[in-house]
Amino acid sequence: MSILQKLSKYIIVASWRLHLDHLLSDKAFNSLYYRWKFDRRLDWKNPRTYNEKLHWLKLHDRQPLYCTLVDKADVKAYVAGIIGEEYLIPTLGVWERWEDIDFDSLPEQFVLKCTHDSGGTFIVTDRSAADLRKCPEILARSMKRNFFWESREWPYRSLKHRIIAEPYLVDERTGELTDYKFFCFDGRCKAMFVATDRQSGHTKFDFYDRDFNHLDMHDNHDNAAVPPARPKNYEKMVEIAEKLAQDFPHVRMDLYNLDGKIYFGEYTFYHWSGFDHFYPEKWEYVFGDWINLDNVKK
């Protein structure tokens, strides 16, 4: 680790621990964090790589609609208006405090998560056997968290802090809920990856092109020992992803597919907050070339 890399890491970590995040501008924060993660300068004037352009978009593409689309509850009305309610995971309830949750009204299997956050999910596969005493600790921690300060993804800054309950979904064939994540650029899907084996704690990512040909690339996750098969209705998934992404210079559309039944997952405007390594490095430039900043600059 170079001296500049170490110094950047020290400043970022110190700002978190001492709660001095507000002293750094979004541009300064991302410049330092980028130096820490990639050990090179973030080129703001002439961004070329995928991650550089994601950070440029953080600063310059600030459509107010993004705040609705990253809210796990509010986004559903928008999605239903484009592709229909049949692709939504049903909402069992939304609360502003975990103390208000009526667990008796929930089914035997359900998921609780915060609408403003990333992670912090509480999964119940058997309500009678679940240790619900852990729920307040997990949710209370997430309710206090403001994801914006961790990576400066601006749409999260002023979101309402709420808890949403949804049914627990699982593919009976695989025993898990597989994620299909489509990289869309100006409404066109160029690549995607499949996230599997999430229950093990060692999630696998396999990247594919638009036609589901396996790509010789990876990030900080290993590929699956056996590459995931093309899901049923894959062409329909691409169609849905592109419809939902049509108004944005770049977004990753996350979907689920349970034996042919497609569900909307979420909008992700900044893949891994702009700090994900692609290997071989050429893919950083391939994905970067797919982001056209010209329309945003106008």
Give the per-residue pLDDT at 297. Answer: 67
Domain extent, residue 188, equals: 65-69+172-297
Please compute the mean of the pLDDT values over residues 20-26 and round it to a whole number: 93
For residues 42 and 133, state if they share a domain: no
Per the structure, how many domains does the chain have? 3
Measured in Å, how far apart are the chain's first and last C-alpha atoms?
A: 39
Quote the CA–CA distance of 60 and 51 in Å, as a whole number.
Answer: 14
pLDDT of amino acid 52: 98
Is residue 229 included in any domain, yes or no? Answer: yes
229 and 273 assigned to the same domain = yes
Do 195 and 285 lie in one domain? The reply is yes
Alpha carbons 81 and 261: distance in angstroms, whole number: 19
Helix, strand, coil percent content, the chain, rounded in steps of 5: 40, 20, 40
Do 150 and 259 belong together in one domain?
Answer: no
Examine residue 196 and state whether it is found in any structural domain, yes or no. yes
- Residues 115 and 101 occupy one common structural domain: yes
User: Is residue 264 located within the same domain as residue 205?
Assistant: yes
Same domain, 191 and 290: yes
> 119, 136, 167 — which closes off a domain?
167
260-291 residue pLDDT tens: 899 999 999 999 999 999 999 999 999 999 99
- pLDDT, tens digit (0-9, with 9 covering 90-100), for 240-262: 999 999 999 999 999 999 988 99
Is there a single domain that holds both residue 36 and residue 97?
A: no
Which CATH number is 286's domain given?
3.30.470
Residue 61: pLDDT above 70? Answer: yes
Residue in 75, 97, 112, 33 with CA at minimum distance from that of residue 276? 33
* pLDDT > 90 fraction of the chain, expressed in percent and rounded: 78
Joined tokens for residue 126: 């058997």
The answer to whether residue 81 is domain-embedded is no
Q: Is residue 77 in some structural domain?
A: no
Instruction: Write the pLDDT tens digit of every residue in 62-105.
Output: 999 999 999 999 999 999 999 999 999 999 999 998 889 888 88
Does some domain include residue 33?
yes
